[in-house]
Structure 1
Amino acid sequence: MSAPRIDTAPQLSVVVPVFNERDNVAPLVHEITAALRGRTDFEIVYVDDHSRDDTLQVLQALKAEVPELRVIHHVTQSGQSTAVRNGVKAARGTWIATLDGDGQNDPADIPKLLDKRDSAGADEGLKLFAGWRVNRQDSGSKRWASRWANAIRSRMLRDDTPDTGCGIKLFERAAFLELPYFDHMHRYLPALMQRAGWKTVSVPVNHRSRSTGVSKYNNLNRALVGISDLRGVAWLIKRGKVTAVRELS
């Protein structure tokens, strides 16, 4: 049964970037609604990064049965970070939850992140709750590459985050939109939030095998791009400055 469409701004926006994920769209959308209906007011913002299959048509058809669903379409392929950012810009919620569109993140973990946020309510400086895949369901080579990348990143950026590449995160929309934007920035959100003066925490979450479709990345292109990105983020952190301000009465 679908929920009635609500025109008021929701408390939470779930942003999901997708590219060529037509078979994963409907199952994931229904899992999100199952996890959140009755828990909080929410919307789902899918950002189609100019898919070459019929992902966009599947999403458009789903809107008729899922009133919380909104669909944003890139007229040219622009990458995951741009899709996440455009989804956050279009979102109406004060807080944002992100999920990868391949179904490997479990929407049932979103309430866990919300509970973690609510339990830390007195700490207004805590702006990001990052998923931590403690039981990765990827190939051995992919898990090895991820451990290697995380170790190098942690050494260079000192962001105290064991799994910055996990797609499921919860963060404050306003804080995110203040961060410097660049391609692949979604992989460095904890470090960027900390650079801005905010605190972050990692939360263990579920991770699932991909049931359909193929990965859009390989270990080599991740590594080559990651080296350049790490140097850039390290430079940003070195050059960053946070200054407390107060207005005189």
Structure 2
Amino acid sequence: MTAPQLSIVIPAKDEAGNLPALLDEIQAALPDTDYEILVVDDASSDGTWELLCRRAAGDARVRPLRHAESAGQSTSIWQAAHAAQGIWLATLDGDGQNDPADLPRLFERAQRGDVTLVIGQRTNRRDDWLKRLSSRIANGVRAALLNDATPDTGCGIKVIQRRAFLALPYFDHMHRFTPALVLMQGGSCLSLPVNHRPRGSGRSHYGLNNRLWAGLVDLLGVMWLRRRSRLPSPLESVSGPAALSEGEEAPRPEQAESGTTALKGLSR
């Protein structure tokens, strides 16, 4: 079985009212793309799991996954990325606020190969004032302390090579710091304007306490991690016989042109 080009990962908790339209929109947005959709039901208490099972029965591209107990958004994305089969990885929030119509443009840009991560920037936020305020403060603090060159790190729509994502360090809430982690591994990031829509139904599971204050605590951990990181560090390797003849001098890196490979940071 040939691996799909793109694995679309959607973390969802109590999103039975939003997922049907979202899945239909993905299908309409990517008619010529070989993709799969991994939706992680993070211990929903509504009909999310039953809905996903019905969709999977009628569409082999839909692959439902489930947590018996809530594990959070980052764990859902990370586990789905490991289960995915695609060469590329895209993420969308399960609340329907990300527009799947933006996926082809982000995917095409990522495939050019000169950036590691393409992330959306919500230029016209459709959230309440408290959510916008907490995100603005968190983004400002992150940008000042991490210099991650990303104006909207909390945007749920992202495209990255799957192997590059799996090379990132995992921790709870890592999805909020993906650009900084990519840069720390020697990669590069690009932000593109994307559409943002009001939530269709249900309610957000993220408020001031778990969006702003928890994010600031996590920020300290990422700062420590970046300080302790030693990647990327160029590593020279020479192909061919490992042993040298007696009295033979080992070649300098600049002399070993034909058989030398420089191993640098995150693949793009």
TM-score in same-fold range (> 0.5): yes
**Kindly, what percent of the aligned residue pairs are identical?**
49
The C-alpha deviation readout for 1:195-225, integer Å capped at 9, x for no partner, is: 0011111111000000111000112221221
AA aligned opposite 2:218:
D
Tell me if 1:47 matches 2:44. Answer: no
Q: Give the corresponding residue for 1:15.
A: 9
Q: For residues 68 and 221 of structure 1, what CA distance do their matches in structure 2 show?
A: 33
Q: For residues 163 and 181 of structure 2, what CA distance do their matches in structure 1 show?
A: 14
Tell me if 1:102 matches 2:90. Answer: no
Q: Give the corresponding residue for 1:220.
A: 209
> For the aligned residues, what is the CA RMSD?
1.0
Q: Give the corresponding residue for 1:35.
A: 29
AA aligned opposite 1:29:
L
CA contact (8 A) 2:135 2:212 kept: no
The C-alpha deviation readout for 1:121-164, integer Å capped at 9, x for no partner, is: 3x2xx211011101101112211221111111100100010000
Where do 1:98-137 residues align within 5 Å?
98-118=91-111, 120-121=112-113, 123=114, 126-137=115-126
AA aligned opposite 1:246:
E
Q: For residues 164 and 107 of structure 2, what CA distance do their matches in structure 1 show?
A: 17
Structure of greater Rg: 2
**Residue 53 of structure 1: how far off its partner (Å):** 1.3
Q: Give the corresponding residue for 1:81.
A: 74
AA aligned opposite 2:116:
K
AA aligned opposite 1:12:
L
CA contact (8 A) 2:99 2:196 kept: yes
**Which residue of 63, 66, 69 maps to 2:62?**
69
Please list every run of 5 or more consecutive structure 2 residues that lacks an aligned counterpart in the other structure.
240-268
Q: For residues 127 and 93 of structure 1, what CA distance do their matches in structure 2 show?
A: 16
Q: Give the corresponding residue for 2:248.
A: none
Q: Give the corresponding residue for 1:186.
A: 175
Q: Give the corresponding residue for 2:238.
A: 248
**Residue 52 of structure 1: how far off its partner (Å):** 1.2
- Mean Cα displacement is larger for which, 90-99 or 72-81? 72-81
Where do 1:158-177 residues align within 5 Å?
158-177=147-166
- TM-score norm. by structure 1 comes to 0.93
| Helix, strand or coil at the partner of 2:82 | helix
- TM-score norm. by structure 2 comes to 0.86
The alignment of Structure 1 onto Structure 2 pairs a total of residues equal to: 238
CA contact (8 A) 2:11 2:73 kept: yes
CA contact (8 A) 2:119 2:191 kept: yes
AA aligned opposite 1:102:
D
| Helix, strand or coil at the partner of 1:208 | coil
| Helix, strand or coil at the partner of 1:212 | coil
**Which residue of 137, 140, 148 maps to 1:148?**
137
Q: For residues 236 and 28 of structure 2, what CA distance do their matches in structure 1 show?
A: 44
CA contact (8 A) 2:138 2:216 kept: no
Q: For residues 5 and 173 of structure 2, what CA distance do their matches in structure 1 show?
A: 27
Q: For residues 11 and 211 of structure 2, what CA distance do their matches in structure 1 show?
A: 18
AA aligned opposite 1:13:
S
Q: For residues 245 and 175 of structure 1, what CA distance do their matches in structure 2 show?
A: 18
Q: For residues 60 and 27 of structure 2, what CA distance do their matches in structure 1 show?
A: 10
Q: Give the corresponding residue for 1:4.
A: none
Q: For residues 60 and 24 of structure 2, what CA distance do their matches in structure 1 show?
A: 12
Tell me if 1:24 matches 2:24. Answer: no
Q: For residues 65 and 148 of structure 2, what CA distance do their matches in structure 1 show?
A: 32
Q: For residues 64 and 210 of structure 2, what CA distance do their matches in structure 1 show?
A: 29
The C-alpha deviation readout for 1:177-210, integer Å capped at 9, x for no partner, is: 1111110000000000000011111111000000
Q: For residues 229 and 171 of structure 1, what CA distance do their matches in structure 2 show?
A: 22
CA contact (8 A) 2:135 2:211 kept: no
| Helix, strand or coil at the partner of 1:23 | coil
